[in-house]
Structure 1
Amino acid sequence: MPSVAIIGTRGYPSYYGGFETAVRKLAPYLVEQGWDVTVYSRPAGTRADDPGRDPRVRVIETRGLEKKSLSTLTYGLTAALHAAKEKPDVALVMNVANGFWLPILKRAGIPTLVNVDGIEWDRAKWGRFAKWVFHQGGKWTAKYGTRMVYDSHEIARRWKDEFGLDGEYIPYGGDPVDQDLPVEPGLTHRGYALVVARFVPENSIPEFLEAAPHIAEHTEVVIVGSSGYGGELDDHARALAATNPRIHWLGHVSDDRRLFSLWQHCAVYFHGHTVGGTNPALVQAMALGAPVVARDTPYNREVTGATGAFTDGAIGDIVATVSRLAASRDVEDASSALKQRARESFSWEAVNARYLESLRYVSSERGVDLADA
């Protein structure tokens, strides 16, 4: 039985972000394809009694430091050291921050498929030192990784230009829902503008919070997300919800069914992400038929194509674009077009199959024939 170790996420099953969503979909799929799958996890990242957990997926918890700037590095190190002893046929490594530990896996004879994520050193949430660390991690990834995975063509272009590396294009998928989910209590179908994002500057959260009271003059506003560490943006969202009954801050929502309902019934989903590649939240929103207003970036245009509406990110333009789509008679047409695009271009079935093919290819670096797996 071929074996794969998955390193660099919060674990299985976890609902934290895009990497974790991908692992929740991929790990059971690989098991079904005859693979022995191990996912390295953080103690606080998963629940053993999670009903969505596939017991055939092996979960190994390692130690690390629960610090914003050190958690990925420290948990990645302990996972790589453990995997080096176990010697799986191949390792799927998430995040270039773990590029520093790829020599450990290479020395153990373990080929690696590395999902580089976005261009982390472009993210405004990181300080100068953290950006330098991520960029160095990218250099180590380029030098010691066996094969790269890029979740968008634009990310692939950036890596080709800077590091001279080709790789595999594998985006994220979305889960379609073929039934009408219950509307969130207190809201109405197509009666609210929605934002779902981690509270960091590059997700346009500061601008959206400033725009929210103006949008709320015409349609209700629902804000989903937090920084995870408290701070100014959380305080701002809390104050808006406390003083304006048409603005609702729900914090972090880990219940997929509830989040899917919010996307399915919104009048507009504002997607303010400005860095990164194919964003999992955007793909999922499209799969559920959420009419989209996105920040005008190459990444977001690549995902939505001609089916989305775009804003330059200025507060006034966010207000105008979101309000215009929410009031438009074409909102259902936009919903149908986005849902169709997600179905054709971003299905989990196709995503998982691409990962399987890539893992088979990379494993050949170790001389292991996995053609029948």
Structure 2
Amino acid sequence: MSKRVAIIGTRGYPSYYGGFETAVRHVAPALADAGWDVTVYGRPGQERDDDPSLDPRITRRTTGGLESRSLSTLTYGLTAVLDTIGRRPDVTLVMNCANGYWLPLLKLAGIPTVVNVDGIEWERAKWGRLAKAVFRTGARMTARTADALVFDAHAIGHYWRRVFGKDGDVIPYGGTEATALQLHPADAHLTGAPFALVVARFVPENTVREFLVAAEWIAEQHPVVIVGSSGHGGELDQHARLLADANPNVHWLGHVSDDDRLFALWQHAGAYFHGHSVGGTNPALVQAMHLGAPTVARDTVYNREVLARTDATFVEPEPGAIADAVLSLLGDRAEQERLGRAVRERARDHYTWRSVCDAYERVLADRAGVAPTPSEVAA
């Protein structure tokens, strides 16, 4: 029996933009392994056609939209939904509750919808008042119209039950394990040195500004590696550039798309600072845990959920607190090794791509009215 699913709301397949794209790079091939006919919608120029992980079984469709910070998700979502209605899959996996505006169209067409609601976008500092209102209205429409909801953390599920009165399935992100990796030649100078690492998009809620201040103090004793950017040359990019230019112990790499290079940095770091404050299970944190990165995290309900029982250090978003915690960890090799083992075990027990993909297949099969493929067959 044919099982057809359309995936809407990401930048395409394969793409490395963010968490949704990371999930689709794993979930789409796993669904194909389980016998699904998979179509992934994307945006022009956002897919990696030369990516060695590209699975030829995945149908890729590109639709149009407005390249606008506040309208791109809505416009690309609309054109993807209209195209999906013409192709009539058995079920649609929609990423991002901002696409809730278009769910009634899929319902009218008789196409079941499973929506990954993402984080609580209307609490992100990067959005203005209008954008926050758009996201919140999209969430309300998602709550009313979606056939099934997916939350990437229990804390997100609690929020939706409390605010919107809706329940769903908790499916977090997974991570990839790796054997011992050598640092990239460009990072070879860090070999043997306990260095601090941060990996984050440069937006206010990721505590980047506070870390950049802390980095000046940390760099007096240890190297500091900063991975990330705003993507548009903003104030934080300028701060990172000036800091790196003025201090030979600070290394700003910008966005790193080479997974092997990034994974090696996580694997060799003496202290990884995770400052994300809004959202559920963060894919960067999960990946860092799989690679045994000793973690200092901003104290949030989401980070505590993911790092539970690892004895990771949680700090307030203040430069002094961040610097003190990172320096303490960098100065204690035994604690680095102990914490690295603890976060790796936590990731292996709770955040694997196999379990994530199996969970998506079950919820999609349920909404499509078909039997899921046993995981041992799909594997």
Q: Same fold (TM over 0.5)?
A: yes
Deviation of the 1:49 alpha carbon: 2.2
Question: Which stretch shifts more, 61-70 or 156-165?
Answer: 61-70
Q: What is the aligned partner in structure 2 of residue 325 from structure 1?
A: 329
Is the contact made by 1:189 and 1:266 (CA closer than 8 Å) also made in structure 2? Answer: no
Instruction: Give the secondary-structure state (helix, strand or coil) at the position aligned to 1:330.
Output: helix
Is the contact made by 2:193 and 2:223 (CA closer than 8 Å) also made in structure 1? Answer: no
Q: Supply the AA of the counterpart residue of 2:277.
A: T
Is the contact made by 2:183 and 2:191 (CA closer than 8 Å) also made in structure 1? Answer: no
- 1:203 and 1:321 map into 2 onto residues whose CA distance is 17
Q: Given the superposition, is the C-alpha separation of residues 292 and 371 from structure 1 closer, same or farther in structure 2, using an over 3 Å criterion?
A: closer
- 2:214 and 2:203 map into 1 onto residues whose CA distance is 16
Q: Given the superposition, is the C-alpha separation of residues 371 and 241 from structure 1 closer, same or farther in structure 2, using an over 3 Å criterion?
A: closer
Instruction: Give the secondary-structure state (helix, strand or coil) at the position aligned to 1:76.
Output: helix
Q: Supply the AA of the counterpart residue of 2:328.
A: R
Q: Supply the AA of the counterpart residue of 1:66.
A: E
Q: What is the aligned partner in structure 2 of residue 165 from structure 1?
A: 166
Are residues 1:177 and 2:156 paired? no
Q: What is the aligned partner in structure 1 of residue 23 from structure 2?
A: 22
Q: What is the aligned partner in structure 1 of residue 362 from structure 2?
A: 357
Deviation of the 1:186 alpha carbon: 2.0
Q: 1:268-347 alignment to 2 at 5 Å?
A: 268-307=271-310, 308-328=312-332, 329-347=334-352
Deviations 1:140-189 (A, max 9, x none): 11011110000100000000001111100100001011233335322124
Deviation of the 1:371 alpha carbon: 4.4
In structure 2, list runs of 5 or more residues that go unmatched.
375-379
Deviations 1:262-313 (A, max 9, x none): 1000011100000100000000000000000000001000000131111011
Q: Given the superposition, is the C-alpha separation of residues 16 and 189 from structure 1 closer, same or farther in structure 2, using an over 3 Å criterion?
A: farther
Q: Given the superposition, is the C-alpha separation of residues 169 and 190 from structure 1 closer, same or farther in structure 2, using an over 3 Å criterion?
A: farther
- 1:371 and 1:219 map into 2 onto residues whose CA distance is 51
Are residues 1:236 and 2:239 paired? yes
Is the contact made by 2:124 and 2:205 (CA closer than 8 Å) also made in structure 1? Answer: yes
Question: Which stretch shifts more, 66-75 or 83-92?
Answer: 66-75
2:200 to 197, 200, 212: 197
Deviations 1:74-105 (A, max 9, x none): 11111011001111000000001111111111
Is the contact made by 1:2 and 1:370 (CA closer than 8 Å) also made in structure 2? Answer: no
Matched positions, count: 369
* TM-score, normalised via structure 2 length: 0.95
Instruction: Give the secondary-structure state (helix, strand or coil) at the position aligned to 1:305.
Output: coil
Q: What is the aligned partner in structure 2 of residue 52 from structure 1?
A: 53
Is the contact made by 2:100 and 2:145 (CA closer than 8 Å) also made in structure 1? Answer: yes
Instruction: Give the secondary-structure state (helix, strand or coil) at the position aligned to 1:334.
Output: helix
Deviation of the 1:64 alpha carbon: 1.1
Q: What is the aligned partner in structure 2 of residue 222 from structure 1?
A: 225
Are residues 1:186 and 2:170 paired? no
Q: What is the aligned partner in structure 2 of residue 8 from structure 1?
A: 9
Instruction: Give the secondary-structure state (helix, strand or coil) at the position aligned to 1:306.
Output: coil
Are residues 1:256 and 2:262 paired? no
- 1:189 and 1:278 map into 2 onto residues whose CA distance is 31
Deviation of the 1:370 alpha carbon: 3.5
Percent of aligned positions that are identical:
58
Deviation of the 1:372 alpha carbon: 5.3
Q: Given the superposition, is the C-alpha separation of residues 234 and 372 from structure 1 closer, same or farther in structure 2, using an over 3 Å criterion?
A: closer
- 2:307 and 2:297 map into 1 onto residues whose CA distance is 9
In structure 1, list runs of 5 or more residues that go unmatched.
none
Q: Supply the AA of the counterpart residue of 1:324.
A: S
- 1:85 and 1:181 map into 2 onto residues whose CA distance is 49
